[in-house]
A = this chain, B = another copy of it.
């Protein structure tokens, strides 16, 4: 103590002086563009203005930090959803293993079609068929087994167009938006129609979003004991939350318990979440991604005359509602400088 007591007050005084003069300069210098993959323009400006408006002390629209919740749809909003949702591809890829464990399924539809390997026949499978495949491949194992299987698949599977792991098909501009909101005290949530447990497997690694901030379509689990007496949870084929359309605000209430201040989506499945967010008091931001870039990603709508799509439909009616309710439409073609981190 003795040797440092004369140093401390001097050091402190110098630092205080240095800080008072330096910090504003350092701060101004230390603020690079938080959204470098966005073209300058009204869309980028809407995000930056909103974050500043809601996080600057003294702003009439200031939102206290605990209430700063922003929600993001995943498929088509944070990453590619074409030609099919990644989770559906995972489920189709899992069918042989399920049939191996339950050989009686080999001659039962829709498993028979999947086992035939006939891609055209598989593309014609109905929603009902797909649900049967999802139920069979996403339940019946412990939550740990499911996590291990999905991790293994994500490490080896490749997207047919870019020949890269699906986890590399996250949109770079949206990764920047996630980081920008978090850097300003927002809690970022995924609110997806996809399986909650599936998305949780990679959300932390890909988006920096922990499992407890993933709200998704969720099945029940069942508590039980193994032969060693240790307790574990089994994934059951029983739907608890269908986190799509009206299920999104309902899921937000169930899992978060607060209305988001901002929300991002891309299809008719996100409409209610965007409405619900925008209907709150104070400043609110609802944004919706339009896939209008066939060259760099995909183009589908059918809003604005883009080709119709069963996956990630952005109807003209939704586009009109977006305009009417002052949601901000993000044009991938015009607003994004690049699409992927590897671009």
Contacts and interface: CB of A to CB of B under 8 A. Distances in A.
Contacts of A240: 240-241, 254
Nearest to A189: B212
Given A7-B17, A253-B233, A257-B197, A223 B246 contact: yes
Given A11-B14, A231-B249, A212 B256 contact: yes
Contact of A212 (B1, B17, B257): B257
A192 interface: no
Interface string A192-227: 000011001000100000111010001011110000
Interface in A241-269: 241, 246, 249-250, 253-258
Contacts of A275: 231
Contact of A22 (B4, B230, B276): B4
Total identical chains: 2
A324 to B, nearest CB: 11
What secondary structure prevails in chain A residues at the interface with B? helix
Contacts of A101: none
Interface string A12-28: 10110110011001000
A279 interface: yes
Contact of A17 (B11, B12, B14, B255): B11
A250 B221 contact: yes
Interface in A1-53: 1, 3-4, 7-8, 10-12, 14-15, 17-18, 21-22, 25
Nearest to A204: B66
A255 B250 CA distance: 14
A209 to B, nearest CB: 11
A4 B25 CA distance: 11
21 contacts: A4-B17, A4-B22, A11-B11, A11-B14, A11-B17, A15-B15, A66-B210, A187-B212, A196-B257, A211-B257, A214-B257, A223-B250, A223-B272, A230-B279, A231-B249, A231-B276, A231-B279, A232-B279, A233-B249, A233-B253, A254-B255
- Ranked 7 nearest A-B pairs via Cβ: A211-B257, A11-B14, A223-B246, A11-B18, A212-B256, A4-B21, A230-B279
